[in-house]
Amino acid sequence: MLRQIGRRLLTMIVTLFGVSIIIFLILRLLPGNEVTASLGVSAGLLSHSQLAALDRYYGIGKPFYEQYASWLGSILTGNLGVSLQSRIAVASLVGAALPVTLELAIAAMIIGEVIGVGFGVLGALHPAKLVDNLGQGVSVFGLSVPTFIIGTGMVTLLASVFHYFPSSEGFVSITADPWLNIQQIFFPALTLGLGIGAAIMKSTRTAILEVVGLNFVRTARGKGLSRRVVIWKHLLLAALIPVVTMSGIQLGYLLGGTVVVEDIFVLPGLGRLLITSINDRDFAVVQSVTLIYAAGFIAVNMLTDLLYTWIDPRTRA
């Protein structure tokens, strides 16, 4: 197990190194640079000597590999740079936005698991019945309708019909006002959770249907075990590998989904910070936030692989 964790950590480091190069290169290929981003149209009024001085200050005139090495060295020492627009340390901006995104992701994953596992188990045990048809309908809706359509429709419905939009009061943390925080997080989490639950439900239903007729299930029933014990300790446990796989995939994509949903519901998380920084050409913030998303995605995949060995001892070989 320790050897496997070591290999996965090494792979994670190498992957993050490659991702950091791609992020750095793509941002440098975009129109504009730190000078034009900080000064806007006023940059055109600067003299050649002034532009050269600013290029040296921001390190723009250096070769690409020197710029990248300088940035990577700062990242490894915990220095994420300073925002060009707000003049605030990027670490402070990320520290304020990260808890919002994590809370949204956890809430969305809980909703997705409840929808996916709940409807998946019920649908597999009652195929072609009302609960199965209802679950299939939820699955089709969650998989076919894009997240931004669901989010926009939900905001429009809440604001125009019910005159209710909790985020209009400004986001509050769960420690400051738990009830208002739950209201602000619930609807964006539900928006993300519908898509997550739809994919998990398909995997759960298929996995349980594959094992429901196997000998060990009939033996458990023949021993007189209760229906609840058979379902949760035998059926679901045997079908857990594909469910965990899909959950890990959805959790990884969930980190990217928060970008759109946070902007729609006006949540001050990493996603909204990223969109604002891209519009402002705030390269220091964009690089750091994108790298954090990539690290989260890779970490989720690694944890999913490690869960396999804990759930199913056969995979340890």
| 33-36, long-range: CB < 8 A, 24+ apart | 33/58, 33/60, 33/283, 34/58, 34/60, 34/84, 34/283, 35/60, 36/281
Confirm if 104 and 267 have CB atoms less than 8 A apart.
Answer: yes
pLDDT of the residue at 166 = 83
Per residue in 234-286, pLDDT tens?
777 777 777 888 888 787 777 777 888 988 898 898 988 988 888 877 888 88
* Beta-carbon-side half-sphere exposure of residue 201 (alpha carbons within 13 Å): 30
| 36-39, long-range: CB < 8 A, 24+ apart | 36/281, 37/84, 37/85, 37/280, 37/281, 37/282, 37/283, 38/84, 38/85
Letter for the amino acid at 107? A
State how far the alpha carbon of 299 is from the alpha carbons of 10, 151, 248, 259, 313, in Å.
Answer: 12, 27, 10, 18, 22
Predicted TM-score (pTM) of this structure: 0.82
What token pair was written down for 32?
Answer: 């504009």
Q: Tell me the C-alpha distance between 276 and 279, whole Å.
A: 5
Confirm if 155 and 265 have CB atoms less than 8 A apart.
Answer: yes
Letter for the amino acid at 214? L
Residue with the bigger pLDDT between 53 and 271: it is 271
Q: Residue 193 pLDDT > 80, yes or no? A: yes
Q: Residue 43 pLDDT > 70, yes or no? A: no
Residues of the chain with CATH 1.10.3720.10: 97-316
Whether domain 97-316 has CATH 3.40.50.1980: no
